[in-house]
Amino acid sequence: MDVEVVQSGETYVLKLKGKWTIERVQELRDLLIEAMQGSGHVIVEMEEPLEVDLAYLQVLCSAHRSALKLGKQMVLHCKKSPGFGQEVSDAGFAQTLGCLQHPGDNRPRKGARKS
C-alpha cells in the first residue's frame, strides 16, 4: 500500500510512498481535503521510495495555502531523499526560508543555501 492514513484526535497523518505524479493528483487532492475537513493538524509524511513531479508539489503548496486560510496547520515530514530534494529544486520550490504565504515563518531551512 502506498498511502496510509492515521487519525488521532486533532491530528491527521498521511503517509505517502511510491509514485505520486500527475496521474494521481486528484487522489492526492481528495486525501488532503479529507484530512483538512477531519482535523486541525495535517501531517504529510513522505517515505521511501517516493517519486514525485511538479503536479504533486503544486497540490501540496495549494493545500498548505488552504490550511493557512482555514487556520489549520499542515506540515511535511520527509526523510532524506536525494530524488525528492532534486525534484523540489528542479521545480523551483526550494527555499532558504519558510513559506512566503505564512507570515512569521522565517525560520531558515535545514541545509538551505544562502543567496
3-state secondary structure of 49: strand
Q: Which CATH architecture has domain 3-90?
A: 2-Layer Sandwich (3.30)
Higher pLDDT, 1 or 42: 42
Handedness of CA 9, 39, 42, 5 (dihedral sign): positive
Residue type, 84: F
Stated pTM of the model: 0.74
Cβ–Cβ under 8 Å, residues 12 and 42: yes
- Interval 52-92: pLDDT, tens: 888 988 999 899 999 999 999 999 887 766 666 667 677 66
Residue found by looking up cell 479529507 in the block: 34
